[in-house]
Structure 1
Amino acid sequence: SGMLDGDVLVCLNYRADRTRQILAAIAAPGFYEFDTGIRPK
């Protein structure tokens, strides 16, 4: 069903660069590399 407004995301990763890339794909309003569907607020 995907993420919805008010959902919480917990991300654990030993490589900080990967965490930034994943979160950018989920949350950055200017990210258009692929369709991410509805972006939660």
Structure 2
Amino acid sequence: MVITMTPMTNNGVLMMIMVLMMMMMMMKAMMTMTTTTTTTMTTTT
């Protein structure tokens, strides 16, 4: 993991938490509206 490489400082922990939260949100959004995302992607491109 990246935890061992990066120094365990407040900033590092905060960044990790933020990234984790973002990932969770993205996953939830994708799970909730997969059809809408796919349609928008195809239409935009």
**Shorter-chain TM-score tier:** 0.3 to 0.5
Higher relative contact order (CA 8 A, sep 6+): 1
Larger radius of gyration: 2
With normalisation by structure 1, the TM-score equals 0.34
With normalisation by structure 2, the TM-score equals 0.32
Q: Which has the higher helix share?
A: 2
